[in-house]
Structure formats: structure tokens, C-alpha cells
Homo-oligomer: A and B are copies of this chain.
Amino acid sequence: MHHPIPGSHKHRTRIRVRYAETDQMGVVYYSNYFVWMEIGRVELVRERGFNYKELEQTEGLFLSVIDATCHYLYPARYDEEIVVQTEVVNASSRTIEFAYQIRSAGSDRLLAQGSTRHIWLNREWRPVRLPDQYREVLRIG
């Protein structure tokens, strides 16, 4: 395609907030945003044609997190539909970094944004290079 649509490589996945994810402040407990980020990156990988589960089982490759951040703007609430927008913002043979925007599906209001940085490990927990066929699909953008 000659004219790439800006933002077209951002994966979007929808999640409905569970009661279990709220706390007594009446909003989503802060650590759960990182669970949603995990769903975002897994779905991005799936959209690009393979799945993370097989990567673990068949290739013995594990995506180990080394950094995680989240900036919270507005609280997500019970039963709200939220959209996790995920993109690859950095990728080498050994590391990959995702950025996330978490929005209210109804209002499109940005609720939080975050990032995670990962290294690839093998079954012996040693850092490894991601095979070329996967690097191609997990490229930036």
C-alpha cells in the first residue's frame, strides 16, 4: 500500500472491566492495567500472524519483562468497555518495547498510557536472539 494510514499498525483490543478488577475506591486497582497491557501485546502478536502460546511451547521462547511503567489520567470503572491500543516502539533481535494507550471505548477518553520492555529468554532462562521470521513480524510500526 502506497499511503499507509497513520496509526494503522496500532493494534486495538476491547476489554470489559470486571468486578474483580475494582477496589474499594470504586475504580480499577492500579496493577490491573498491567494485566490489560499483557492482553494488548498478546493480541498484537496474534494479529500479526502467530501466537505467543506457540512461541513458548514450540520455540521455547519467553518474553520476559524488564521494565514496566504506567501513567494514570482517569480511573477506569466497573463494567466500562475499554480499548487497549498497543504498538511496537522499539525492537532489536534481543529486546522489544511496547507502548500502550488505554481508552474508554465510549468516550475515547485516554485513561492511562504505559510501556513495557522485554528480553527474549530460552527455556534455560538465558537471553537469546529472536529468530528472523519472528523479527520480521514483530518489527516497529
Given contacts A53-B79, A67-B72, contact A24 B19 (CB under 8 A): yes
Flag if A29 contacts B20 (CB, 8 Å): yes
A1-35 at interface with B (beta carbon < 8 Å): 18-20, 22-27, 29-32, 34-35
C-alpha spacing A43/B12, complex, angstroms: 22
Contact between chains at A68 and B66 (CB < 8 Å)? no
State how many residues of chain A have any CB contact under 8 Å with chain B.
Answer: 35
Is chain A's interface secondary structure helix, strand, loop, or mixed overall? mixed
Q: Which residue of B lies closest to A29 (CB)?
A: B20
Cα-based distance from A29 to B20 in the complex (angstroms): 6
**Chain B residues near A18 (CB-CB < 8 A):** 35, 38-39
